Every structure is written in C-alpha cells, then in structure tokens.
Amino acid sequence: MINVFQPSLGNEELEAIKKVFESNWLGKGKLTAQFEENFAQHLGISKSLVRSTNCCSEGLFNSMKIFDIKPYDEVIIPTISFVGAANAVLANGSKLVFCDVDKRSLNVRLEDIEKVVTPKTKAILLIHFGGIACEIEEIVKFAKERNIWVIEDSACGVASKYKGKSLGTFGDMGMFSFDAMKILVAGDGSILCFNNEELANKAEKIMYFGLESKSGYSNTVDKKWWAFDVSCAGHRAIMNDITAAMALEQLKKLPSFIARRKEINDFYNKELSEVSWLDLPPVVSDEYKSSYYFYWIQCRNDKRDDLAHYLRENGIYTTFRYYPLHLVKYYGCKEHFENAEWASNHTLCIPVHQSLSDNDVTYIVEKIKSFDK
C-alpha cells in the first residue's frame, strides 16, 4: 500500500539516538536545548521565544491556561481543524464557536471569523491548512484591534512562510508537531513559539508543574537544592533528549524533504490539471511558501468516496483532513457551514511525502486518470 503520509528516518537518527543512550541522560537536557535553539533559528526568531513540549496537542490544551481563557469566554475555531483544538477549548470549560472556511483552500478567512465574533470572543485558534497560510495578516490585525488572542496551530506548516515570515510567528502563539505523521518526525514532540518572553516563560512553568526553581543539576543553589516552590498546577509536558536527537537530524534534512514534496506537488499540478472532473488546490502567489503537507483533489463528479475506494483497491491509501468538527455530535453544534460540508464531501488528500518514488507518483496519477474516464 502506498501511504498517504510517511516519515523518512535513517542511520543519522539511529546514530544520534545511540549517542543519547551512551550519554546516560535521556531526559530533557542539552540536546533539547540545542533543538530549541536550532528550531528558533529555522523560524527566524529569538531562542527566548521558543519552548519545546512533548506534543502539539499539549500546546493546544495549555494555550487555554497560557492566555487565561475563562469558562465564560468564547474561542473561535474553523470547523476544518484538528480534533484536539476543540477538545482543548471544551476541557477548559470555555465556549466553542465554530466558523466556516474557504471551500477550495479549506483555510479560514477573515469574513468567516467576522460572522461569529462576539464581545465574548477571547481567542481565535486557527490552522494553516496543508501548510499554506490562511488570511493571517488580516486576522491578526482584526484580532489586535479587539484584544483577541491569535493562536496559530502550525502543525501543517513546519517550513511554511508568508511574505518571508514563518507561519506560527504572526499571532501571539504558534505551535508545530513532530509526530509520526508529520514532515519532520521525532516520534512525538513539539515546539511552541510566542510573541513575547513573558508568555514563553509562563508557558514553560505551566508545562512543568508550575515549578519556580530549576530541577536536577540545573538547580545551582548551594543548600537544599531539593526544595522547590510552585506557582500554578502545571502539567509535565516536556521534550526529552531522545526525541530531540531525532529532531535535530530531521531538521537538517528538512530542506530536502520540502524540495521533494514540492516536486511531487508540481507533478500532480501538471498531470492532474488535464482531468476534467477534478479541481486542484488553488494556485497561490510567490508570497506563499508551503510545506506541501497535503495535496488535495476535489471531485466535481460527486464520486469522491468511489474514487477513494478505487484507489485503495489499487494499493493507494487516501484520506480526508480534517473532518468538520461541527458535524461531530459530541460538540453539540446546531449550525451548518456550507463550504466546509461541501469540501468534506468532495475533497480527498492523496499521498504526498518525500519517500514516494517517481514510479509511485506516476502510478498514482495513472490510477486517478483511469477512474471515471
């Protein structure tokens, strides 16, 4: 079966992990600090604005505490989002407010947010679908004027930029995922970034028991180094040096991963543009630098499900990301969002990852073309 997403790991990662074993320090240590520094450099921001954690979902959940979002506050989420975003809002006891998206880009637009914003809106938790920026400048400007926090889930955009600025660095907080299905894979792990140091320091405490002092060898006090103080009921959500060792190697390989993904993306664009019953992802200007996390096709012939089955029968796995959250019964949403529902019935994410061979992508294109001739 050709996977829809797949990591590319090799001897470099294995060697790096071996060294961590030999060092006898597997926890959060020098390598984690090094990865935070290297990733900050990759984003083009200061290391002081970056904190690592054990997964991006922790970033979503902790964002509610970091921004002091209260039970009566409303948080806007585009309905095409990761399930963890909605759970983070509900687990905080806050009000989940969904909004629609553009039916072709599946990205949230300012006009979608304007329709649902109220004086109770405290935060907008958005994603950049497939690694292409949503209307982030307009949304940030709108939010700033109303004292609304902007949280950017940039899990899809590990190397994405808009007008030369990394996604995740436009709002008040950004976050990236290194789980097994992402582009830069470290098994798990995440980087959170903030637009000021105060927020970054607050996040660090929330993600480590609310401890006011350093633990272990990092605690340099002369006496009673085992004593501590706590300022909030924080979690234990930290990266470790095994994860960081993998992540450091993957970060070196990231440019080559993105280059290969772009080749595949461009090949699909060229080859599939001839297929009369398909729409392809919208063409964006040079101001957008994508991570090519998804490649999606939209079936005008209402046969998306049949196509998915046909491809699976032929050894090609496909999926749809992200199933509209307002359709999930548990969230109790009574509204309809036309664009998201249309997209969810017509869109298919087809394989795009750096391990695909030329033969694989030619085969995928051939199979799509041979369906509904």
CA–CA distance, 191 with 177 (Å, rounded to integer): 7
In the complex with ligand PLP, which residue's Cβ is closer, 52 or 354? 52
Q: State which of residues 84, 168, 234, 324 lies at the interface with ligand PLP (CB under 6 A).
A: 84
In the complex with ligand PLP, which residue's Cβ is closer, 177 or 265? 177
Touching ligand PLP, residues 289-308 (CB under 6 A): none
Stretch 129-168: interaction string toward ligand PLP, x if CB under 6 A: ------------------------x-xx------------
Tell the smallest beta-carbon distance from residue 148 to ligand PLP (Å).
20
Touching ligand PLP, residues 174-193 (CB under 6 A): 177, 179, 181, 190
Q: How many residues bind ligand PLP (CB under 6 A)?
A: 13
13 is a contact residue toward ligand PLP (CB under 6 A): no
In the complex with ligand PLP, which residue's Cβ is closer, 154 or 339? 154
Tell the smallest beta-carbon distance from residue 98 to ligand PLP (Å).
15
372 is a contact residue toward ligand PLP (CB under 6 A): no
**Any idea what DSSP says for residue 230?**
B
CA–CA distance, 199 with 60 (Å, rounded to integer): 14
Query: How many other CB atoms sit within 10 Å of the CB of residue 24?
Result: 6
Strands (E), the chain: 50-53, 74-78, 95-99, 121-127, 149-153, 161-162, 165-166, 173-177, 190-194, 278-279, 288-289, 295-299, 347-350
62 is a contact residue toward ligand PLP (CB under 6 A): no
In the complex with ligand PLP, which residue's Cβ is closer, 215 or 327? 327
44 and 81 Cβ atoms separated by less than 8 Å = no
Tell the smallest beta-carbon distance from residue 69 to ligand PLP (Å).
18
Q: State which of residues 35, 67, 82, 296 lies at the interface with ligand PLP (CB under 6 A).
A: 82
The tokens for 68 are 């002091």
Tell the smallest beta-carbon distance from residue 192 to ligand PLP (Å).
11
Nearest to 135 by CA among 112, 166, 156, 117: 112
In the complex with ligand PLP, which residue's Cβ is closer, 67 or 267? 67
State phi, psi for 307 to the nearest 5 degrees.
Answer: -60, -45
End-to-end CA distance of the chain: 23
Kindly list the distances between the CA atom of residue 70 and the CA atoms of 74, 94, 96, 172, in Å, as whole numbers in the listed order. Answer: 9, 6, 12, 17
127 is a contact residue toward ligand PLP (CB under 6 A): yes
In the complex with ligand PLP, which residue's Cβ is closer, 92 or 190? 190
56 is a contact residue toward ligand PLP (CB under 6 A): yes
**Strands 165-166 vs 149-153: parallel, antiparallel or unpaired:** unpaired
243 is a contact residue toward ligand PLP (CB under 6 A): no
CA–CA distance, 228 with 234 (Å, rounded to integer): 14
Q: How many CA atoms lie within 13 A of 228 on its CB side?
A: 16
DSSP 11-67: HHHHHHHHHHHHHT--SSSHHHHHHHHHHHHHHTS-GGGEEEES-HHHHHHHHHHHT
Stretch 223-242: interaction string toward ligand PLP, x if CB under 6 A: --------------------
Tell the smallest beta-carbon distance from residue 60 to ligand PLP (Å).
6
The tokens for 42 are 């990759």
55 is a contact residue toward ligand PLP (CB under 6 A): yes
Binding site for ligand PLP (CB under 6 A): 55-57, 82, 84, 127, 153, 155-156, 177, 179, 181, 190
